[in-house]
Structure 1
């Protein structure tokens, strides 16, 4: 069996991905989209503190919080 050299690594011929058929990503709708938003300093500090306590990034924590709002269909009361 021939071994194909790719850079400094070797690859068995049966793993040659150049012959792989392309198809759409079935999880594309679940991917993240980068956006820019302006947040109050107090909001940023709150999420940064909470994120440090949880050992995750503040962006990840904000995303988790917003995802929880989506799942629970939470509505903001503006009175």
Structure 2
């Protein structure tokens, strides 16, 4: 072991940067995060990966396809029944 180490050229952060991904800080409601963690665990994947997939689906869906009131009510009923 050396007496002194030279950190003058050292850098903070990850040693190996990941390509195509950016680390951010985001605040989510606790219930939203709990949902994604539970859902991701059931699927055997990471919750951040699941959030990324859902966001990707949202941006890849055609914007012209707006959701109808009937569809929204059906989706909410399904999601709320799963949370009980």
Give the alignment's TM-score, normalised by structure 1.
Answer: 0.53
Which has the larger share of strand?
1
Query: Which stretches of structure 1, 4 residues or longer, exceed 4 Å deviation after superposition?
Result: 73-77
User: Which consecutive residues of structure 2, in runs of 5 or more, have no partner in the other structure?
Assistant: 1-18, 68-84
Give the alignment's TM-score, normalised by structure 2.
Answer: 0.50
1:34 aligns with 2:29: no
Tell me how far apart the structure 2 counterparts of residues 70 and 39 of structure 1 sit (CA, whole Å): 19
Could you tell me which residue of structure 1 aligns to residue 82 of structure 2? Answer: none
Q: Which has the larger Rg?
A: 1
Which has the larger share of helix?
2
Count of aligned residue pairs for this structure pair: 48
Could you tell me which residue of structure 1 aligns to residue 41 of structure 2? Answer: 52
